Amino acid sequence: MPRLAIGMVVYDRRYEMPGTITDFDGPMVCLIRPTGLEWRTHCATVRPATDYERRQLQAIARLHTQRQRGTAPA
């Protein structure tokens, strides 16, 4: 398994969603999504994100940006 690193996009099997690693706290990994949702999970529950999951996170970021500007439907 590749080494986990800050800035890496991973998939959290416990919460069933991808996120970006922001920090480590012992065996815990701190994650964030483009919407600002932050959570902590055990490092054993994450794995590197697939290409599909990375694209999914990028799409969420684009949609969130559009909604913040008021240019996307709710």
pLDDT beneath 70, residues of the chain? 1-2, 71-74
Provide the pLDDT for residue 67: 84
* 9 contacts 49 by C-beta, under 8 angstroms: yes
Beta strands 46-48; 38-42: pairing state: unpaired
CB 30 within 8 A of CB 22: yes
CA–CA gap between residue 39 and residue 47 (Å, rounded): 15
**pLDDT the model gives residue 74:** 58
What does pTM read for this prediction?
0.85
Contact 57, 18 (CB under 8 A): yes
Q: What is the pLDDT of residue 26?
A: 94
pLDDT of amino acid 16: 95
pLDDT for 6: 97
Residue 55 pairs in a beta bridge with none
